[in-house]
Amino acid sequence: MEDLVIIGGGPAGIMAAITASANKKVVLLDKNPSLGKKILASGNGKCNITNAILEEDKYCGDKVFLKKVFAELDNMKLMKYFEKRGVMLKVEGFGRVLPVTETSASIMDCLSDELLSNNIAVRYAEQVLEINKNNEGFTVTTGRGSYETKNVLISTGSPAYPQMGATADGYKFAEKFGHTIIPLRPAIVPLELNGNWFHKLQGVRVEAELLIYTKGKEKIYNGELLFTKYGISGPLTLDAALYITDELKNNAEVFINFLPVLKEFGVAALSAAWDYRPEKPVFTFLSGFLPKKIALILLPLLGVDLAKKCKELTLKERENIISALLKWPIQVKGPKSYKEAMAIAGGVSTAEIDVKTMESKKVPGLYFAGEVLDITGESGGYNMQFAFSSGYIAGKAIKNKN
């Protein structure tokens, strides 16, 4: 009889295994031939484990629940955890925390060493098919056999990026035990747009804002926007995608502000650039503010003749161009599929989970951690942090069990 069988070796399952194994017999099962595929992929292979600014507002889900989770293991404690084990970290743009080596292998090697030195039985390429409750605990059935255990942790993540072997099995197991699944939606995902202009900007990156208006409510995201042949991507879109997707149901209107720099330099700087080039074609006045291609594609859509000289535009025409670039309407069709989503929102309802232990309030001995729960962060290390934190809490609770 095992003390704990963990289903899924991502950050949540690995952290739980290491923590519980201090005085418990632990088996960690994963359907993949290796652990932590998403750890290795995170931060474009550099491993973005957390964020220097950990705010509940960066997450979709129960904020009170999150606050309690981070009271147990927050970003600072997580960073200390790795630094104590010889993995030095650094903070990059937008607070992203990475190993100084900028390779995920530094994090994965550290975790693998911990699994090994704590004698945790890791079973690779073993997919769990079924979990059944019995008088003593649980029977976990895999494609290769079965395990008897007092406790089970479901840390199967979400089906985002199925090409990495991700599954929706955790929800299936949870539902069987009577848990509620909050509807799933792709998050941290590119967006498809309607229209016939954005594909001409494919590959263009720009510092911009996405402005979202719903029923008198305004929300603004800023960062780097990337145009693609189907719509928009890049860090800015990935951050805003879940909010936009959810608000589309409330008829949200979405705009791009192509000129957030005016907040710093003022419209006067733009006017000066304009007046400085009276004989130049009209699009050139924007060249110090925007990638040239944006002006070349968007100005004709405003009815501006590209051959016109700066001095030939009336004040009214100038004002129209500036206000259009400050609030360019886009028609969002919806998010790309799970295949391109780095995370999935929704999942096992946290209302049915004891935040102090991550144990199910419905089935004693059944635990959940990580992305399988209804907590999803924006890009920037927030999802890895939640996975590590919730995995740690589950592991600690099982370690302390009699």
Ligand X SMILES: Cc1cc2nc3c(=O)[nH]c(=O)nc-3n(C[C@H](O)[C@H](O)[C@H](O)COP(=O)(O)OP(=O)(O)OC[C@H]3O[C@@H](n4cnc5c(N)ncnc54)[C@H](O)[C@@H]3O)c2cc1C
Given the rule CB under 6 A, which residues bind ligand X?
7-13, 29-32, 37-38, 41-43, 48, 127-128, 155-157, 160-161, 165-167, 169, 342-343, 370-371, 381-384, 387
Question: What gap in Å lies between CA 14 and CA 18, rounded to an integer?
Answer: 6
Tell me, what DSSP letter sits at residue 54? -
User: Which CB atom, from 9 or from 99, has the smaller least distance to ligand X?
Assistant: 9
- Smallest separation (angstroms) from ligand X to the CB of 114: 15
User: Which CB atom, from 257 or from 385, has the smaller least distance to ligand X?
Assistant: 385
Question: What gap in Å lies between CA 248 and CA 235, rounded to an integer?
Answer: 20
Q: Where are the alpha helices (DSSP H) in 177-329?
A: 234-248, 262-276, 292-301, 315-326
Residue among 106, 97, 86, 95 at smallest CA distance from 36: 106
Question: What gap in Å lies between CA 100 and CA 379, rounded to an integer?
Answer: 19
- Smallest separation (angstroms) from ligand X to the CB of 6: 9
User: Which CB atom, from 342 or from 363, has the smaller least distance to ligand X?
Assistant: 342
- Smallest separation (angstroms) from ligand X to the CB of 299: 36
Question: What gap in Å lies between CA 7 and CA 89, rounded to an integer?
Answer: 29
User: Which CB atom, from 94 or from 382, has the smaller least distance to ligand X?
Assistant: 382
Query: What is the number of residues in the chain?
Result: 402
User: Which CB atom, from 365 or from 391, has the smaller least distance to ligand X?
Assistant: 391
Question: What gap in Å lies between CA 113 and CA 107, rounded to an integer?
Answer: 10
User: Which CB atom, from 44 or from 287, has the smaller least distance to ligand X?
Assistant: 44
- Smallest separation (angstroms) from ligand X to the CB of 38: 3
User: Which CB atom, from 29 or from 111, has the smaller least distance to ligand X?
Assistant: 29
Residue indicated by tokens 């209107």:
253
Dihedrals phi, psi of 301, to nearest 5 degrees? -65, -20
**N-term to C-term CA, the chain:** 15
Beta bridge partners of 182: 347
> Looking at beta carbons, which pairs linking 91-95 to residues 24 or more positions away fall under 8 Å?
91/52, 94/51, 94/223, 94/235, 94/380, 95/51, 95/52, 95/53, 95/380, 95/381
- Smallest separation (angstroms) from ligand X to the CB of 381: 4
User: Which CB atom, from 43 or from 234, has the smaller least distance to ligand X?
Assistant: 43
- Smallest separation (angstroms) from ligand X to the CB of 129: 7
- Smallest separation (angstroms) from ligand X to the CB of 47: 7
- Smallest separation (angstroms) from ligand X to the CB of 105: 15
Q: How far is CA 234 from CA 164, 192, 205, 292, in A?
A: 21, 13, 8, 19
User: Which CB atom, from 32 or from 271, has the smaller least distance to ligand X?
Assistant: 32
Q: How far is CA 204 from CA 227, 236, 266, in A?
A: 6, 13, 24
- Smallest separation (angstroms) from ligand X to the CB of 331: 27
H or E stretch including 172? Answer: helix 169-176
